[in-house]
Amino acid sequence: MDADERGLVLEATAELVSEVVRRNELSTDDVISVLFTATPDLTSEFPALAARELGFTDVPLMCATEIAVPRALPRVVRLMAHVETDKARDELQHVYLRGAQALRLDIAQ
């Protein structure tokens, strides 16, 4: 994301959550919990708020800060969702958007 601004954090996080749900054919009922992390340079809003605004009202959500590694990509929000699914692990799609694709070129779609 271009800057640490509340609207940009919410927009980028909503895009990420929506893509994870869409690509993996999930509903909010399939989601057990979600852990969001943000790099230390993102402090304007909790990323979890974007999920709440998308309807994740009864899903436990948690936010944490990534460790500050000098060579890390700046302004990155990540999520790890725990879901119930009949899909095999190799059928699940890991979503990396925008510049975050560089984090995992081996699995980014």
- Distance in angstroms between the alpha carbons of the first and the last residue of the chain: 19
The continuous run of DSSP H or E covering 80 comes out as strand 77-83
- What is the number of structural domains in the chain? 1
The confidence score (pLDDT) of residue 8 equals: 96
Task: Find, among 103, 89, 77, 98, the residue nearest to 24 by Cα.
Answer: 89
What's the mean pLDDT in 82-100?
88
- pTM of the complete model beyond 0.85: yes
Domain-embedded: residue 1: no
Domain-embedded: residue 22: yes
What domain range includes position 21? 6-104
Q: Is the pLDDT of residue 63 over 90?
A: yes
The confidence score (pLDDT) of residue 52 equals: 97
Average pLDDT, the chain: 91
Q: Is the pLDDT of residue 30 over 90?
A: yes
Instruction: Give the C-alpha separation, 55 to 47, whole Å.
Output: 14
